[in-house]
A and B are shown apart, each in its own frame.
Chain A
Amino acid sequence: MSVIKYIGRRTDFRGKSMWEIVSNLKNFGVGRILVRSMFERYPENSWIKILKVEACPPTPPDFYDTLRRVKITAERVFRGKKFEKPILIEKVSYKTDYRLLSKKEEADYCKLSQREEKLLPLEMDLPPLLREFVFKETGRKDVKMKIVANESLYNNARRVKENETPNCEVPIGLGTPHPTSRSLYEGIELK
């Protein structure tokens, strides 16, 4: 019996590449659901539903890379939130990190969920040194700066709109530690 010995580095990927899965399915798996194991770390489920499959012709200059790829148009759900438009997966399709969801599992697994939104205030304090500079120039100590957050469509955090109250604070210093990580600050006085 042959002995398998591994060399190299351990990988975080678990599963097969997209082409490995899709090539063995009827009609190239249109209508089936794929899950990327890297996204299974989140409490909410993420998955993609295959809509269309195209093969990738081997084209230079990355001849051997394209051999491992496949073009898949899919409906994407990330952390329980569905994308409005279908997405095209090509370059990441070679990653051996996908698994096929069995038809029995589908109904149980594919449930959309709503995450609690993080509402940020509109303004925050200036950093201490900048505050001093501004005070020297204008003589005002109450100057605040606008908060700039990444408010893309699928981001969970956004600034408050009218008639809303922020549900989190944005401190300029260290802030309050995460509830699970209070042990890191044992014996240290926090302001």
Chain B
Amino acid sequence: MLRNLLGKTTIDSLSANGFNISYNPVCVQSVRWRRKPRWIPKAKTKIFRIPNHKPLLPEETHEWLRINNNYKLQMNSVRAFFREEVMNKKKLIAQGQTPADEEAEFERCKSINDEWNQEIANIRDARYARIMKKRCEKLETSLDHLERIKELQMTKIEERVRIQKEKSTTFITRKNIDQAIEHALSNQVDFNFSIDLQGNIYKGDEKPGSVAKKEAN
């Protein structure tokens, strides 16, 4: 918060070069991995400055060389020692000979491993049984549900069939088509009508007044 109150100043000359340095007089946080990028040239004041090599002290150089040579010799020897050990062991294994204690160790490891495997197998079986049971229950409920839906659908269908059967008594078929035509021709129906401001309905397409009032059929 204090930082916000004080505000943040940016050094313009540096930001113009492509990197920002936020400057806060109260809280100075040094960031160790932030440094001048490689594409920014050497400062003008430093361009002709050629750093001298640091002189090597002979006592330090001699001692450093001695210690380093010793270290390399020791490490190479240790590495060779281990390599030989491994090669010897490999040879024994290739010949089919394994040391007795190694076999016993293997047996011990195997028994422990088997025990762990058994434990895990028990847990796994229990989990499988639990899952199976759950699934069966779910299936049963879903089957019941399906059956109920089917029944509902059947009743709906039957209802529709009954209604259609009732209606089918009035259908025009091949047998009664002539009769129906004759009936239609003999009973012409005029659906035209007019209505006046009083709400009287005049059937037929003739003007009101010209024809006497008709009663609706």
Contact = CB atoms under 8 A, between A and B. Distances in A.
A127 B63 contact: no
Nearest to B47: A7
The binding surface of chain A is classed by DSSP as loop
A12 B53 contact: yes
Contacts of B47: 7
Interface in A173-189: 174-175, 177-178, 180-181, 183-184
Contacts of A130: 78, 81
A52 B70 CA distance: 40
B48 A148 contact: no
Given A6-B48, A9-B50, A10-B51, A184 B59 contact: yes
Given A10-B51, A146-B77, A147-B77, A178 B62 contact: yes
A148 B73 contact: yes
A181 B50 contact: no
Given A6-B48, A178-B63, A170 B70 contact: yes
Contacts of A178: 59, 62-63, 66
A126 B81 contact: yes
25 contacts: A8-B50, A9-B50, A9-B51, A10-B50, A12-B53, A120-B73, A124-B77, A127-B74, A130-B81, A145-B78, A145-B81, A146-B77, A146-B81, A147-B73, A148-B73, A170-B73, A170-B74, A174-B67, A175-B66, A175-B67, A178-B62, A180-B58, A180-B62, A181-B62, A184-B60
